[in-house]
Amino acid sequence: MVTYSGEVSHQWARRRLLADWRAGRVSRETVCDGDFRLLAASRFHGESVGRPCPICGGADLRVVLWIFGESLGKMSSSARSVEEIERFADAGREFTVHNVEVCPDCHWNHLLSAREVGP
Ligand SMILES: [Zn+2]
């Protein structure tokens, strides 16, 4: 089990962006801008979230765990499995885990939450 010392939800920003998209205030290209690394990570490390993509309705919506932190060295800014994150936490490293929602079909992506790991 990983103990998180803090969590910031980005659900409100996500809802606002989706409302803007539905109202035609932002383009599909703007909301579906997942880059190559994120899309690849969603295929290899992503977990299905069991609900459809809010943009294209595709059934393959995934959540990727993306980690950041100086203590991670060159592993910073990469997607990781829950098991790897547990290992880094057990080793006493301090880092941030971003839960990122990704649709491999239309490239929709959004940060859901950011959590801090560490003492
Ligand atoms: Zn989609």
> Model confidence over 68-110: pLDDT tens digits?
999 999 999 999 999 999 999 999 999 999 999 999 999 999 9
Ligand 1 mean position, distance from CA 81 (Å): 22
Contact (Cβ atoms closer than 8 angstroms) between residue 97 and residue 42: no
pLDDT at 118: 84
DSSP state of 69: -
Contact (Cβ atoms closer than 8 angstroms) between residue 118 and residue 105: no
Q: Hey, what amino acid is at 63?
A: V
Ligand 1 mean position, distance from CA 70 (Å): 32
Ligand 1 mean position, distance from CA 28 (Å): 10
Ligand 1 mean position, distance from CA 22 (Å): 14
Ligand 1 mean position, distance from CA 109 (Å): 9
Q: How do residues 20-55 score in pLDDT, each as one tens digit?
A: 999 999 999 999 999 999 999 999 889 999 999 999
